[in-house]
C-alpha cells in the first residue's frame, strides 16, 4: 500500500510503499523534522506525490501491447505512455490522462478509466 507523509516544516512530501503492518506512524524528513501521514493526499489525489504523474492499472494494457499503444499516443500528441514493466497507463497530468483514456474508448469516473 502507498502512504504519503508531509512535513509541516518544509512542505516536502514523501511516498512510502509498504504493507499495512509495517507502516510507520511518522517519517523523518530531510530538514530534520518529522513528516506525518497525509491521509487527504493519499485519498484525494491518485497520483505520485513527488512527480504529479497519474498512473492507472485499470486503463492499462496487456503484455506486448505497450509499444504499439505508445506510438499511437505519441502520434496523437498525448503526453502519456504505457509502462513496459506492468502495462499501467502513466500520464504527466490529469488532462493528458483523460485524453489517453478517451483515445482508447474509455471515460473517467473519479479518475479511473472504465470501459464504456
Q: What pLDDT score does 49 carry?
A: 55
Q: What CATH number has the domain spanning 54-111?
A: 3.30.70
The pTM of the full predicted model, rounded to 2 decimals, is 0.53
What are the domain boundaries of the chain?
Answer: 2-44, 54-111
CB 113 within 8 A of CB 56: yes
pLDDT tens digit string along 67-91?
Answer: 999 999 999 999 999 988 888 888 8
12-21, 42-51, 91-100 — which is least confidently predicted? 42-51
Q: Which backbone phi and psi does 71 adopt, to 5 degrees? A: -65, -40
Q: Residue with C-alpha cell 500500500?
A: 1
Amino acid at each position: 500500500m502507498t502512504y504519503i507523509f508531509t512535513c509541516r516544516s518544509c512542505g516536502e512530501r514523501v511516498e512510502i510503499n509498504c504493507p499495512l503492518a509495517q507502516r510507520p506512524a511518522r517519517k523523518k524528513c530531510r530538514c530534520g523534522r518529522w513528516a506525518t501521514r497525509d491521509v487527504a493526499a493519499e485519498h484525494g489525489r491518485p497520483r505520485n506525490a513527488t512527480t504529479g504523474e497519474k498512473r492507472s492499472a485499470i486503463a492499462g494494457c496487456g503484455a506486448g501491447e505497450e509499444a504499439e499503444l505508445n506510438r499511437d499516443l505519441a502520434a496523437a500528441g498525448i503526453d502519456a505512455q504505457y509502462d513496459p514493466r506492468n502495462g499501467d497507463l502513466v500520464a504527466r497530468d490529469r488532462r493528458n490522462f483523460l485524453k489517453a483514456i478517451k483515445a482508447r474508448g474509455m471515460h473517467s469516473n473519479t479518475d479511473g478509466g472504465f470501459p464504456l
